[in-house]
Homo-oligomer: A and B are copies of this chain.
């Protein structure tokens, strides 16, 4: 998910715009033009940091001197400095909140993802922990990148990068076999085909029809195990990736993982987030940049 600096900078500028309106009146009233400050972004609680690339790209484009004390994806203890910043006080004070909103959201998502992934790894599994498209509106890039930095799987990035046949598609098309076959014939060779199913029978039909990935939607762990048993029995297990989705949370995660599916996906990683507490402290005030 690499974006050239100018493109990333533009994305962040667009977030700022909504907050700035006709400009920061407090800052322009109180902070003398030309004031230089030294500040530090500090993580107030333990977690995984994400958003450093976004913050530094924006700040460097505004002529700040930046020293990243930590790299994206790193784990920090509470009260750890994350980013040292030297530059124009007016610019820093008027963009502080938006930059922190990016960092705290991304770090929150990365931290949750990391905790889930560790739980799976510590239990001895290699199952992938994936997010879904249940992101904040317009924040797919930030949210998915944070999942990646937390060690999770980003799943689809766009509606154009994976054929994913869901229940509502089947409500129109009617027939799993026909749907998979039709997709396979027409779609580019560069795409995988995934299909969402709601019974063991549908899972078998989907795989026989040539799906690359099958999503077991709202299956109980018991139903998943039964499905996996049937796949092996039909010698289909190696031909397909199996994703479990629906009803999975931090508490019951290992029950799902234990079924030996390849992927578990959770909407709540990105739609029920908890911000990581990070704040900016002004350390020094200089009148003029050297």
> What is the interface of chain A, defined by CB distance below 8 A to chain B?
1-7, 9-10, 12-31, 35, 37, 39, 61-63, 89-91, 93-98, 100-102, 104-105, 108, 128, 130, 133-142, 144-145, 153-166, 168-169, 171-173, 179, 182-183, 186-192, 194, 213, 241, 243, 262-263, 267-268, 271-275, 280-282, 285
| Cα A145 to Cα B195 with chains together (Å) | 24
A158: nearest residue on chain B (CB-CB)?
B21
Task: Decide if B160 touches A1 in the complex (CB within 8 Å).
Answer: yes
Task: Decide if B30 touches A172 in the complex (CB within 8 Å).
Answer: yes
Residues in B neighbouring A281, C-beta threshold 8 A: 168
| Cα A272 to Cα B137 with chains together (Å) | 15
Interface residue from B93, B145, B186 paired with A168 (Cβ < 8 Å): B93
Residues in B neighbouring A153, C-beta threshold 8 A: 188-190
Interface residue from B9, B104, B141, B262 paired with A23 (Cβ < 8 Å): B141
Task: Decide if A189 touches B160 in the complex (CB within 8 Å).
Answer: no
Task: Decide if B6 touches A169 in the complex (CB within 8 Å).
Answer: no
Task: Decide if A190 touches B189 in the complex (CB within 8 Å).
Answer: no
Task: Decide if A136 touches B22 in the complex (CB within 8 Å).
Answer: no
What is the CB-to-nearest-CB distance from A95 to chain B, in angstroms, rounded to a whole number?
A: 6
Residues in B neighbouring A241, C-beta threshold 8 A: 189
Task: Decide if A37 touches B172 in the complex (CB within 8 Å).
Answer: yes
| Cα A108 to Cα B274 with chains together (Å) | 13
The CB with the most chain B CB atoms within 10 A, among A22, A183, A273, is that of A22
Residues in B neighbouring A188, C-beta threshold 8 A: 130, 153-157
A95: nearest residue on chain B (CB-CB)?
B4
What is the CB-to-nearest-CB distance from A17 to chain B, in angstroms, rounded to a whole number?
A: 7
Given that A9-B6, A20-B7, A272-B274 are known contacts, is A161 also in contact with B137, CB under 8 Å in the complex? no
Task: Decide if A136 touches B105 in the complex (CB within 8 Å).
Answer: yes
Residues in B neighbouring A15, C-beta threshold 8 A: 137-138
A143: nearest residue on chain B (CB-CB)?
B136
A173: nearest residue on chain B (CB-CB)?
B30
Task: Decide if A159 touches B26 in the complex (CB within 8 Å).
Answer: yes
| Cα A37 to Cα B174 with chains together (Å) | 13
